[in-house]
Homo-oligomer: A and B are copies of this chain.
Amino acid sequence: MSPRTPTTTTAAEKSTAAYLAERRAEIDSELDRLVAAESSWPETLHRAIRYSLFAGGKRLRPILCLAAAEALGAPPDDVLAPACGLELVHTYSLVHDDLPAMDDAPLRRGAPTSHVRFGEAVAILAGDALLTEGLAVLARHPGHVRYASAKLSVLDVVTRAIGSEGMIGGQVADLQASPGGGEEELLAIHEAKTGRLIRAALVAGGLYAFAPEEALARLDECGRALGLAFQIRDDLLDVESDAAILGKEPGGDSAAEKLTFPAVWGIERSREILAEKVDEAVSSALGLPGGGGRLPELARFVRDRQS
């Protein structure tokens, strides 16, 4: 059983749910505007790109970027497009992680993965295109010339986060890891593989708001705690969840003999550390000018999410 069940939904949770639903709808229509139509040449490629992009993702990274920008005073309309750039980059990482040479995953969010649906070559190239287009969107948006140096700073932060010593490095280390690995190895992998892009999403939001160094450092701190919390919750969901909610086979990680938080810490200790990390993230967010806007409640959402 999970620490909180859907039957205990509070008013605050309802408000968060409404906020998330509204943001997701905005992000989905913006993504639709940003990405080439399915009928564009070559069609198979564009069908594959859109198949993975509109597969029911939570849109957590763009939502965190938007919430950070909003909390620090940036106009949300300016930040919507580049926030979607982060989702394109995240989607690329899922498509490539699922490939036969990597996790060899048949299902993602309850549907066949890209390589199962379109073949391996097209899945690799759709991932390449999602990465290229994600960084292109970060270079193009927001369009106003006053954002030129902010955009270059965001590209610097994001490419470091997802590069050979960030997300890609974490994926290599994850593939090489064994269930016998310890806490230090596990933390290093997930800090790189999941944590870095979540941190970069929050810092990017601050950069679009022209936030001072101190606020950027606090966003980074908040993102570090939140990224770890997100991964612990993911591992716990994998152990606890019902396949119908999760959209993939539960227990997939232990079946594949992956190094996970419940495997290293046990379930109870994993839950405790999850709660601690969310408290850290909330307290970093509350320390931002204006109390961090929606960020504290988004941190609590990461702890309580059921899928």
Binding site for B on A (CB under 8 A): 36, 40-42, 44-46, 49, 92, 96, 99, 101-102, 119-122, 124-125, 127-129, 131-133, 135-136, 139-140, 145, 148-149, 151-152, 155-156, 159-160, 162-165, 168-169, 171-173, 175-176, 188
Contact = CB atoms under 8 A, between A and B. Distances in A.
Contacts of A92: 128
A220 B241 CA distance: 55
A161 B102 CA distance: 28
A159 B176 contact: no
Given A102-B121, A119-B101, A128-B131, A139 B156 contact: yes
Contacts of A125: 96, 168, 171-172
A140 B156 contact: yes
Contact of A159 (B135, B159, B172): B135
B101 A165 contact: no
B101 A133 contact: no
A94 to B, nearest CB: 13
A101 B119 CA distance: 9
Contacts of A49: 164
A148 B152 contact: yes
A176 B101 CA distance: 22
A114 B169 CA distance: 17
Nearest to A170: B42
B131 A102 contact: no
Interface of A: prevailing SS: helix
B172 A122 contact: yes
Contacts of A120: 101
Most buried by B among A40, A49, A165: A165
A192 B279 CA distance: 50
B121 A101 contact: yes
B132 A44 contact: no
Contacts of A124: 96, 99, 101-102, 124
Contacts of A136: 155-156, 159-160, 163
A119 B100 CA distance: 12
B163 A133 contact: yes
23 contacts: A36-B164, A36-B165, A41-B188, A42-B172, A46-B164, A92-B128, A96-B125, A96-B128, A101-B121, A102-B124, A121-B172, A125-B172, A127-B128, A128-B128, A129-B168, A131-B132, A132-B135, A132-B162, A132-B163, A135-B159, A136-B163, A139-B139, A139-B156
A130 to B, nearest CB: 9
Contacts of A155: 135-136, 139, 155
Report, nearest first, the 5 A-B pairs whose CB atoms are least far apart: A136-B159, A139-B155, A101-B120, A129-B164, A101-B121
Contacts of A102: 121, 124
Nearest to A93: B128
B168 A132 contact: yes
A110 B175 CA distance: 29
